[in-house]
Amino acid sequence: RSVYIFAKKNIQFDHKKISLFEGYQYGEEFGKINVLRKAPAIKDGDFCLAESIAIMMYLAEKFHTPDYWYPADLQKRARVNEYLSWQHSSIRICGSRILWFKLLIPKAMGVEVPKEKMDTAEENFDASLKLFEEKFLQDRPFIVGDQFSLADLVAVVEIMQPIGAGVDVFENRPKLKAWKDRVREEIGAELFDEAHQAILSLQEAVKTMDPKKMEPLKPKILKDLLS
């Protein structure tokens, strides 16, 4: 979602939507673009690149996007990099686990998530959000200060993930909600909502998912998330 939003705001591109739940990423065609078998990935001429953060940094440099995205100022850029480096093992993974544990594993795969796993996931996500507010946001409008940046974009799409499972992340967090509203305004409400449509409609979508299509992916997903 972050790469899609960033690209829509800055460049002309051809968007190809793939079905991860049907295992398209393990096919020969996608493997030629990204041997890591993950989305997103881009193909710029003969140059292929994976990993969302690397993709956005590449696009920002190549297309000379407005400075606020990835500031030239050394210390501002360092603040963006600081958040982007931290979020991989905190907000990103914790938000993703809430989505998988509360919705996708029990509803799409028919597997009960142990209570202790769910409790730990919720505790870790709450702790990550607390750190986000106290360390990265503080009393500023955005992570870097007065200007929106790549850090805010990456943060908001990850924090939105549990919403897909019916978890109101922003309840009782007025500072976080106010920040999200500012980010949505900066992105543009229409684009923000479009990019999150799949997440926001996921509870309905899982009702029509074919469990048989998930079977090839099931062992790996359960091993990675529940072991």
Domains and CATH numbers, the chain: 1-65 (3.40.30.10), 70-226 (1.20.1050.10)
pLDDT band of 158, cuts 50, 70, 90: very high
What are the beta bridge partners of residue 43? 48
Is the per-residue pLDDT at 183 higher than 90? yes
Among 195, 214, 215, 218, residue whose Cα is nearest residue 206: 214
Supply 15's token pair.
């968007």
CB of 156 closer than 8 Å to CB of 75: no
**Cα–Cα distance measured from residue 3 to residue 56, given in angstroms and rounded to the nearest whole number:** 6
Three-state DSSP state, 49: strand
Long-range contacts of 138-144, Cβ-Cβ distance < 8 Å, separation of 24 or more: 141/179, 141/182, 142/179, 142/182, 142/183, 143/79, 143/80, 143/83, 144/71, 144/76, 144/79, 144/80
Three-state DSSP state, 70: coil
Q: Record the pTM.
A: 0.93
Q: What is the CA radius of gyration of the chain?
A: 18
> Average pLDDT for residues 188-196, to the nearest whole number?
97
C-alpha distances (whole Å) from 80 to each of 32, 70, 92 are 31, 7, 15
> Average pLDDT for residues 86-97, to the nearest whole number?
94
pLDDT band of 139, cuts 50, 70, 90: very high
Is the per-residue pLDDT at 76 higher than 80? yes
pLDDT of residue 51: 95
pLDDT of residue 22: 75
Tens of pLDDT, residue by residue over 17-68, are: 887 777 778 788 888 898 888 899 999 999 999 999 999 999 999 999 999 9
